[in-house]
Structure 1
Amino acid sequence: MTAAPRPTRIVVVTGAPGAGKTETGRRLVRRYNLPAALIDTDTVADIYPWNADERLYAVLGRNLRSCLAAYRDWGARVVVVSGVLLPGRSLDQFRDLLDDPSLEWVFYGLRAGPDELAARIRTDPKVQDAGGRLAWSHLDGEVPSVPGVRLIDTRTRTVDEVTDLIATREAAELGPAAVTAGVTRPFHAARPPVPDAAVPVRTTRVPAPDGPVPPRGDGHPGVLWVEPAEAVRVCRTALVRLGFPAKTAETTAVDLVAAETHGMPSHGLLRVAEYAAAIDAGHLDPTAEPVVTRTGAGAWLVDGRHAPGVVVRRSLTDTLARADTGGPVAVGLRAAGHLGRLSPLAREVASAGLALVGFVNYCGAGQKVAPAGGSSGMWATNPVVLGCPAPPGPPVIADMSTSTVAEGVIRSALLNGGSVPPGLLVGPDGEPVTDPRLLYTSPPQAAILPAAGHKGHSWGAFVEILAGVVAGAGHPADPRLPGNGGLFLAFRVDAFGRSESEVARAITGIEALLRSSAKDPAHPPPRLPGRGPRPGAEVAFPVPVDVWTRLLDPLGAVVTTPALSSTEGQLP
């Protein structure tokens, strides 16, 4: 039996004069890796004298129908139409085609205020009279009346950024190989476009907690393969839009992308949506600077003032470095933004010849980890970080949650549309669950298990006691605003009478002993933590389409897609 031909996708970019439809359409059509064509209504309805009346709409309708038929005969899978197509006006010429099962209509509505439209029209080299176009600026208010339109606020976006948003949405519905999404060049030149037939997708769709999400395109969100440099650029731009100073945005973007290239997406780009929510809730101040206060002999307190994690980490590093000349240092931390991976902090401290022991909590919030024998959240994931210099090799570092996994691992599985292995989550009845959505329902229907049962529970409890109680950051019985608190100890490795070189040689001896214990030549020998091979930082990595969409639109100006709404309001 022959399969029915796939419908031709008609992608309409509509809006008032000056919204940027023509240039967006020209750039968008080049993003498709399928046979595609462009119809610009300015060229098929360019009559003189020009007057927007029924005669013009009729001419436009006949010409568009002819062009559309010709392009379909040619083999177009996608036809991009840019122009002022609105109900009660020119769109009425196509009422019958909107119900044609061989056509799949999608509408993107570009919005802009009157000042932006006027400024664009006055500098636009189009042949149409600028005064006449200005008289139609009020059509911006009619754009939301287009059935099923996906609105895009263009007031603070370049044409490339608007094109990025539409292309990303198209990739989510047609498949990531069918559309070059997110940037104006291919993510990965080694991945050729798929010209026809089935477009491969890499992930499964995530239903909403209260029921299935209606299918979208092929029913999968998909992933995009992103080059690190491009990811840094897009992430930096998103953070600046959220209010991060340029330098802080750059450092944060580099840090998040480094997590991705090191195989830790749980601490990568998905965090930008979390930062946006935290700013909106008043839990993160992107322009704040920490305040450091001496509280005793060798004791200091860093008040993060809800500043971004990379800014707080710099204050922590500088304060802990005092141990290089003034004896051991203990540093308490309160009210920090998300610190992210702790291994960079340990690496920076160890590079100064200092050993580090650190405990980080979530200020008593984020109670997603069950205690030993329990089935509801009590602790946050409460990581512990340890570092020790061992020149000439890299420092020995351990950065680990006291739960079975970091919470971001569960969230990453949710965004990728997959399940998690048994043994990570427990349901209210004490039975294992593998559905990551259950951690984010209200109330939660799952909790993360502590690492190694009662051992991880004990570590998690001590983190709350040391960071939350002793350092005063907040704990589950007295929670503060969500953020990171901590307690850190730093001291020189020669503080106990052994020289740095003696310590380094001893660590090298331990490492040699580990390597000699290898039994299976087919597997790498055991190693000290933090001394494994470093992943390549220039290799493209996969990003869920929904995560990339949020990066391109961190303020949420685009109409939420079903895949985004499946977790909307549930991310901690």
Structure 2
Amino acid sequence: MSVLEGAEVGVGADADVRTETETARVRVVVLTGAPGAGKTETGRRLVRRYQVPAALIDTDAVADVYPWQADERLYAVLGRNLRACLDSYLEWGARVVVLSGVMLPGRTLDQFADLLADPRLEWVFYGLRARPEQLAERILADRKVQEADGRLSWSHLDEEVATVPGVRQVETGALTAAQVVDLIAAAEAADLPPGTLTAPAPSGPWPVTPAGAAVGATENAAVGARSVTPVSAADARSVCTAALGRAGFPPPVAERAAAELVAAEADGQPSHGLLRVPEYVAAVAAGELCPTARPRVHRTGERAVLVDGGRAPGVLVRRLLATELARAAQGGPVVVGLRDSGHLGRLAPLGREVAGQGLVLLGFVNFCGAGRKVAPAGGTDGRWATNPLLLACPAPPGAPLVLDMSTSAAAEGVVRAALLAGTEVPPGLLIGTDGASVTDPRLLYTEPPRAALAPLGGVAGHKGHALAALVETLAGAVAGAGHAAAPQGPGNGGLFVAFRVDALGRSGAAVGAAVSALEQHLLAGPRVDQERAPRLPGRAVRPPHAPDLLTPPAALWQRIRQLASTDPSKGIAPCPTPC
């Protein structure tokens, strides 16, 4: 994971030349926060978790001056002492240095500004947070050289923890010291090679905000509802695979589905990420999803087929859709209808796969008439599902253009993700029963619902409403998947059309050149934000690899772990029809 906005910190340009083994980066784990946050005790316990040579530097030990006064002179002395200790421990052979203290911008942290470019040290910051009364209680119970009154006057520094670039904030108010250490150790274990330190599996709910997230003091009271648990991507795949396997998914299908959900979570799309695991398990229990089913193809014409999903997992159905649509590469257009599929998941991967074969793809997906949580234009209750569109076009030599979007203001999973995270949704996504915008995600899930998703375009939303109606008609009526007035779901239905990009006489290269010209046209225009250039759909700037550490809501992760260890013979109903 990135630390300090990706900066790496070294020990100085005059360091001795070392062998390749000796120059492996040393990890500096900084525990920062206001006085009373618990940094010292956390550092003492944490350093014992590492299974490689590790050292602890406590700023209290190198700044115990009297009379104590936090000013520029103290910061300078503290900076020199910390440098000396750091150099000594590195010479000794430390692979990890735990540093506890008030390391904040504008204070001690500034003494290390010249070290932020050296690649031999890797810094990671954990910001320990607590409410003022909690800080005061801890300070009064902890005897130090500095007077309690002086330390009490610095409780406002808790607000500054969020200003540390890349900081991983930890709310300690409701935790024991052991729980705080367990939380940080779990995050460290996810970052480092196996065996670097001992860390128990996170059992949550431990409040921690993702790297770089700013949490103000006014939000602290509610942070318990937004608690998350750090978990490595590898562990997430393993546990999700186990949970789906317990529900009856065959091992290869469970692995493939889990990998897709983890990839979505890592890509910052929790609406199609880990929250789907309990949903899939519940769907199996309700007989709405048959994990061992296999989709079937029925030929309805020379270039047309109907795929009967048979309530099979979406990962299997998508593979069959891609196979059938690929036939367009060898001849004329292909039309594929879809009925009764399990949740298809993200559609963009299907678009990229088909477009990668030189094909244009048009796709329209509904929920077989179920999932009615989207208000029509001028309405206030759910009449449509989110009814996504999928459009893809090859544009060689660059990446294909891919559009995967709901015809509602947001995917329903976005609201559910906010509900699980304990946060509000932005204005304009939900409509209350009075037609006004609301931001409480819970209102979408009351019985009866007290809110509906807004159509694309907001409360008026005529364009999103019209698109939803056409998708419902094409997928529900034309493909026969079921529609809002005659539901056959829940599940996904759809209509897909694929044809060669050169079908109208223009080569793929010519189309690609035209798309490149469009891209340059966009880049040449003025921008609101000079750091963010306009882009074509499907051509987002992506990191070279997905994050290795996920931070799902603690309650969600705890539920998935429970599902992974549940006796599959209890609570899971068989498929209503033979698979």
Same fold judged by TM-score > 0.5? yes
**Alpha carbons of 1:177 and 1:381: their partners in 2 closer, same or farther (altered >3 Å)?**
farther
Structure 1 residue 406 and structure 2 residue 415: aligned? no
Structure 2 residue aligned with 1:455: 463
8 Å contact kept, 1:187–1:224: no
Structure 1 residue aligned with 2:486: 478
Structure 1 residue 531 and structure 2 residue 539: aligned? yes
Partners of 1:377 and 1:35 in 2: CA distance: 55
Question: Mean alpha-carbon deviation: is it higher for 427-436 or for 358-367?
Answer: 427-436
SS of the residue corresponding to residue 335 of structure 1 reads strand
Structure 2 residue aligned with 1:422: 427
Structure 2 residue runs of 5 or longer lacking an equivalent are 1-35, 39-44, 50-171, 200-205, 211-220, 568-579
Q: Determine which of 551, 556, 566 is the counterpart of 1:542.
A: 551
Structure 2 residue aligned with 1:553: 562
Partners of 2:242 and 2:234 in 1: CA distance: 13
Structure 1 residue aligned with 2:322: 317
**Alpha-carbon offset, residue 369 of structure 1:** 0.2
Output the amino acid matched with 2:248.
Answer: G
8 Å contact kept, 1:177–1:200: no
**Alpha carbons of 1:547 and 1:509: their partners in 2 closer, same or farther (altered >3 Å)?**
same
Structure 1 residue aligned with 2:209: 202
8 Å contact kept, 1:398–1:530: yes
Output the amino acid matched with 1:553.
Answer: Q
Q: Determine which of 502, 505, 522 is the counterpart of 1:497.
A: 505
Structure 1 residue 522 and structure 2 residue 536: aligned? no
Partners of 2:322 and 2:493 in 1: CA distance: 15
8 Å contact kept, 2:397–2:509: no
Structure 2 residue aligned with 1:371: 376
Partners of 2:184 and 2:444 in 1: CA distance: 30
Superposition map of 1:98-109 within 5 A: none
Deviations 1:319-347 (A, max 9, x none): 00010112101100001111111000001
Structure 1 residue 293 and structure 2 residue 302: aligned? no
Structure 1 residue 434 and structure 2 residue 439: aligned? yes
Partners of 1:339 and 1:526 in 2: CA distance: 29
**Alpha-carbon offset, residue 522 of structure 1:** 2.3
**Alpha-carbon offset, residue 230 of structure 1:** 1.9
SS of the residue corresponding to residue 301 of structure 1 reads strand
**Alpha carbons of 1:523 and 1:555: their partners in 2 closer, same or farther (altered >3 Å)?**
closer
Deviations 1:362-404 (A, max 9, x none): 0000000000000000011000010011111111001000000
**Alpha carbons of 1:321 and 1:338: their partners in 2 closer, same or farther (altered >3 Å)?**
same
Partners of 2:566 and 2:256 in 1: CA distance: 25
SS of the residue corresponding to residue 383 of structure 2 reads coil
Structure 2 residue aligned with 1:283: 288
Q: Determine which of 234, 237, 243 is the counterpart of 1:238.
A: 243
Q: Determine which of 168, 185, 190 is the counterpart of 1:187.
A: 190
Q: Determine which of 506, 509, 518 is the counterpart of 1:510.
A: 518
Question: Mean alpha-carbon deviation: is it higher for 249-258 or for 177-186?
Answer: 177-186
**Alpha carbons of 1:33 and 1:308: their partners in 2 closer, same or farther (altered >3 Å)?**
farther
**Alpha carbons of 1:337 and 1:547: their partners in 2 closer, same or farther (altered >3 Å)?**
same
Output the amino acid matched with 1:278.
Answer: A
**Alpha-carbon offset, residue 523 of structure 1:** 2.5
Structure 1 residue runs of 5 or longer lacking an equivalent are 7-31, 37-169, 194-198, 204-215, 559-572
**Alpha-carbon offset, residue 238 of structure 1:** 1.4
SS of the residue corresponding to residue 186 of structure 1 reads helix
Partners of 1:441 and 1:350 in 2: CA distance: 41
8 Å contact kept, 2:248–2:291: yes
Structure 1 residue aligned with 2:86: none
Superposition map of 1:54-69 within 5 A: none
Partners of 1:261 and 1:530 in 2: CA distance: 17
Output the amino acid matched with 1:545.
Answer: A
The two structures, once aligned, show a CA RMSD in angstroms of 3.3
